[in-house]
């Protein structure tokens, strides 16, 4: 595989995931507005916001670590795009490499780490509160998310290859059809809700409390890159969960593409329902949920997967 092919694939994923992610975020905002008896934004609102941010001046705080302040959003964007590239490559070729699911898992954690690094580099007091919450949130949802991956790996024959997990489901049916699969899927959805910073896990931003949290000092294109990273994560995260529990998706046929879209819509609807039926949780409530109930549920799912349920 040539370096040019890899680069072109990276660019293609970056462009396609950015566009699809912004459209998915618009659907989220639009349906949320309708549920609250509001009109909601037009379909191009997220694109207009990004273009507007590009035209804004980028300000770097006087006491900030300039290199880390600028590098953090770039790091998050690159890691998320690489994760999406791996997922699409495996889905297109039906082949992977050993432990690629673990690599994707770690890549999907980098955007949160980038927010923490960027906020700490800004030197702002409110940003410090935001990164404190972001760190606790990251530590909270990562353990249950790992449990979700382990459940899928055990059900697929004890493999951490995403391609092997997808092939197993193509031959034996979706892992979601088992008791442990349902548990792992629920955990995965809630963990992704936390990764995306959606209600009830938006405590790291909490505009009404800490004015944007970790990103309070960001402006211009740097803030736009963080927004773009979230848009790409809005696609890459659910596709990873689809690969683990819903049999993956195929780009080789119209039927496979439509099936993949419907699976994605299912997860998107769950995101919207969760964020519109729950208030923002406090940090202690969030940790109690992730480290308590969801972790115990994850361990129970692992045991059920071991015994074949």
Concatenated DSSP letters of 199-211:
TTS-TTT-HHHHT
Give me Rg for the CA atoms of the chain.
19
Q: State the DSSP H helix or E strand holding residue 202, giving kind and residue range, or none if neither.
A: none
pLDDT of residue 242: 94
pLDDT of residue 212: 64
pLDDT of residue 210: 54
Measured distance CA(127)–CA(142) in Å, rounded: 22
pLDDT of residue 209: 56
Give residue 258's domain range: 3-306
pLDDT of residue 270: 93
pLDDT of residue 192: 94
DSSP codes joined into one string, 242-297 = HHHHS----SSSHHHHHHHHHHHHHHHHHHHHHHHSSPPPPHHHHHIIIIIIIHHH
Q: Count of domains in the chain?
A: 1
Parts of the chain with a pLDDT under 70: 1, 94-96, 206-212
Contact 28, 272 (CB under 8 A): yes
Measured distance CA(172)–CA(43) in Å, rounded: 39
Measured distance CA(39)–CA(50) in Å, rounded: 21
Measured distance CA(309)–CA(187) in Å, rounded: 17
Contact 205, 213 (CB under 8 A): yes
* Residue 200 preceded by cis peptide, ω within 30: yes
Contact 200, 281 (CB under 8 A): yes
Dihedral sign for Cα atoms in the order 162, 167, 170, 173: negative
């Amino acid at each position: 595989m040539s370096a040019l092919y890899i680069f072109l694939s990276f660019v293609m994923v970056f462009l396609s995931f950015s566009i699809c992610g912004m459209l998915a975020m618009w659907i989220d905002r639009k349906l949320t507005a309708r549920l609250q008896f509001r009109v909601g934004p037009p379909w191009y609102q997220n694109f207009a916001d990004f273009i507007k941010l590009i035209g804004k001046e980028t300000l770097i705080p006087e006491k900030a670590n300039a290199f880390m302040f600028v590098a953090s959003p770039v790091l998050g964007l690159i890691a998320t795009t690489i994760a999406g590239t791996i997922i699409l490559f495996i889905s297109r070729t039906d082949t992977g490499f050993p432990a690629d699911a673990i690599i994707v898992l770690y890549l999907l954690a980098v955007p949160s780490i980038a927010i923490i690094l960027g906020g700490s580099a800004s030197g702002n007091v409110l940003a410090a509160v935001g990164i404190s919450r972001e760190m606790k949130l990251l530590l909270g949802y990562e353990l249950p998310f790992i449990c979700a991956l382990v459940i899928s790996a055990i059900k697929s024959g004890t493999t951490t290859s995403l391609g092997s997990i997808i092939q197993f489901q193509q031959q034996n049916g979706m892992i979601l059809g088992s008791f442990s699969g349902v548990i792992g899927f629920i955990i995965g959805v809630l963990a992704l809700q936390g990764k995306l910073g959606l209600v009830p896990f938006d405590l790291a931003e909490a505009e009404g409390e800490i004015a944007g949290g970790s990103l309070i000092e960001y402006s211009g294109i740097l803030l736009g890159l963080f927004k773009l990273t979230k848009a790409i994560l809005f696609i890459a995260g659910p596709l990873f969960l689809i690969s683990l529990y819903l049999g993956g998706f195929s780009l080789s046929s119209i039927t496979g593409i439509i099936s993949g879209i419907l699976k994605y819509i299912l997860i998107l609807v769950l995101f919207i329902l969760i964020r519109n039926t729950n208030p923002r949780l406090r940090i202690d409530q969030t940790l109690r949920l992730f480290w308590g109930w969801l972790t115990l549920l994850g361990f129970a799912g692992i045991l059920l997967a071991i015994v074949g349920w």
